[in-house]
Chains A and B, each alone.
Chain A
Amino acid sequence: MTLAARRTATAYAFLALPLVFFISVRFGPMLYMMAMSLTDWGLLRKVLRFVGFSNYATIFADPVFLKSLSNTATYAIFGTPAVIVISLCLALLLDNVHGKGRSLFRLIYVLPYITPLVAVAWVWRWMFETPPLGIVNALLVGIGLPAREFLNSPTQALPSILTVNVWVDLGYCTTVFLAGIQTIPRGIIEAARIDGASARQILRRIVLPLLLPVTLFLTVIEGIQFLRIFTQVYNMSYQASGGPLNSTKSAALYIYQKAFTDFNMGVAASASLVLFVIILGVTLIQVRLFDRKLEY
């Protein structure tokens, strides 16, 4: 055997098992899912029937699915910019702090991001409790504001869960932004300052444009994150229902319930494909939009 052939053999030997893995646990299931979305697949059913696109017709006629889609959109549309803007401001502020202070602040901000979401969700659920139990309401009443229903109200529950999610992801985005800021050569900023540029001009003309790639990356990641929201909703809504009145139910929770409460796998499969297409589409649009801005 030649040397090159032996190397090739070695590489394939290293890659054989992983390839089997990726095909059977990633691509295979995905194709299976697409096929099953066209059947009346149910866990309790023995014979599969081809039903064409009727599962898709079913979900788009289901007001609960449409509600879950609009909720998911609300999470993403309000959550993503909120996280991005706040964390960008934080990173810019942190950039001015040097030494131990910076690491300490950053450490504190990252803490929620690495702790189990389930635990975090229940802590916030406890804090959002109705008076006289919840500490948040105790604070509100303490400063003379009316108490709120939070998770028990069809209008306030979604914003409450959204806020918690922003709180969770803030430190992650701040850290990435801060790393991005630090890659900007100090020389450029110094030169601009010597040329008489104001701090605001430096920010608008130099720092923010140079941060565009990082911002794109984070917008995509956070967008996906919010579109996939599940654990928070499952744990923060009463009996994991996505309530009250489906007001917090996300698409991911809808899929879970269709599949594992109703055992209607075919419908769940088609719903999950719809979610996948949405995630893919939103990601591509974001990349396009930012690409145009990056060009000049």
Chain B
Amino acid sequence: MRGPWPARTATYFVLTLLSVTMLFPFFWMLMSSLKDATQIFQVRLFPSKPTFDNYLYIFFSKSSRFPQWFLNSVIVGVSTTVSVLVFDSLIGYSLAKFRFPGKRVIFVLIISTLMIPTEMLVIPWYAMSRALKWVNTFWGIMYPGMISAFGVFLMRQFMMAVPDDLIDAARVDGKGELMIFFTVVYPLVTSAVAILAIFNFIGNWNAFLWPLIVVAKPGMFTLPVGLANFSGEAGSDWHYIMTGATVSMLPLIVVFLIFQKQIIRGIAMTGLKG
């Protein structure tokens, strides 16, 4: 970096100090998860006798439902992401590359749903789920998120950059529209697809309000709902709570480290949320 050394040092000092603030809670969570029921009450940075018993408890004890919740979250996260990818790219493609009456209205209609906050919709969603017997089911958790308006916007932007000539050439070759979509268009927008997939997975993995409402059976909880419930009942078993928190973060940290470039790019590009 440029500039005189005092400014440089000050910059690094501030940035490092803040990094410590950002990282410390994660460090403390991890350390707390390695302490047993007695050590947890001693405020010491590192456990005097680190133990993996908490993890064994969370993963293998009969009374722990974490493995089930983990599996539920994976099912919900993967299914909704696949659905969003298929539908959003199809919608984005239609809106970017086809000319038909009502196109603009449909686009505005879809984008305007971004303005409706989830808090407003959960109550009617719940009424709907009760009427259709979707309460306590995977479908009940997933159906409101099967298509993402934000993803439509993203995919449309990227699809517009696909050259029309390429699509027309494929049409001249006699390929069907779906075939063209999957073999010609899709490969050209993989970076957008990756960003959408990652953010949708993260969003669904972290979702709390709706799964909290639609699921009452502990066996059907997703990880965040399970963790909230478990922690609320665990009282002073902070070593278990912190282990549960660590476990619920683990897959995301892995996703984050693998796809950090796409994640940073995705945030920078559009400011992704919801």
Contacts and interface: CB of A to CB of B under 8 A. Distances in A.
A10 B224 contact: no
A50 interface: no
Nearest to B226: A118
B267 A29 contact: no
A272 B120 contact: yes
A165 to B, nearest CB: 13
Contact of A269 (B103, B123, B144): B123
A110 B264 contact: yes
A93 B15 contact: yes
A7 interface: yes
Interface string A17-30: 11101100111111
A107 B100 contact: no
Interface centre among B32, B209, B228 (most CB of A within 10 A): B228
A167 B14 CA distance: 15
A34 B212 CA distance: 23
Contact of A176 (B8, B14, B267): B267
A110 B90 CA distance: 31
B11 interface: yes
B238 interface: yes
Contacts of B252: 114-116
Contact of B94 (A11, A103, A107, A134): A11
A107 B143 contact: no
B169 interface: no
Nearest to A179: B268
Contacts of A97: 1, 11-12, 15
B248 A221 contact: no
- With most chain A CB atoms within 10 A of its CB, the pick from B19, B110, B115, B117 is B117
A32 B123 CA distance: 10
A120 interface: yes
B41 A133 contact: yes
A105 B147 CA distance: 34
B273 A221 contact: yes
A111 B94 contact: no
A116 B264 contact: no
B26 interface: yes
A93 B228 contact: no
Interface in A114-163: 114-120, 122-124, 126-127, 129, 132-135, 138
A109 interface: yes
Interface in B178-204: 202
Contact of B271 (A105, A119, A122, A221): A221
Contact of A119 (B101, B126, B248): B248
Interface in B191-232: 202, 205-206, 208-209, 212-213, 223-225, 227-228, 231-232
B32 to A, nearest CB: 7
Interface stretch (A59-67, A75-83, A200-208, A255-263): A255-263
B119 A123 contact: no
A120 B25 contact: yes
Interface residues of B, number: 89
Contacts of B115: 280, 283
A111 B264 CA distance: 11
Question: Majority SS of interface residues in chain B?
Answer: helix
B242 A30 contact: no
B100 A8 contact: yes
A26 B183 CA distance: 32
A118 B228 contact: yes
Nearest to B92: A14
A2 interface: no
B28 A135 contact: yes
B208 A115 contact: no
A171 B28 contact: no
B248 A96 contact: no
A53 interface: no
B74 interface: no
B48 interface: no
B271 A217 contact: yes
B100 A7 contact: yes
A126 B244 CA distance: 13
A8 B101 contact: yes
Given A17-B87, A97-B15, A107-B264, A127 B228 contact: no
A116 B249 contact: yes
Given A108-B23, A126-B242, A14 B94 contact: yes
A247 interface: no
B231 A122 contact: yes
Of the candidates A33, A116, A221, A276, the one having the most CB atoms from chain B within 10 angstroms of its own CB is A116
A269 B124 CA distance: 9
Interface in A74-113: 90, 93-94, 96-98, 101, 103, 105-112
13 contacts: A4-B99, A105-B19, A116-B227, A118-B228, A119-B244, A122-B241, A129-B238, A133-B238, A179-B267, A224-B117, A231-B208, A252-B209, A276-B116
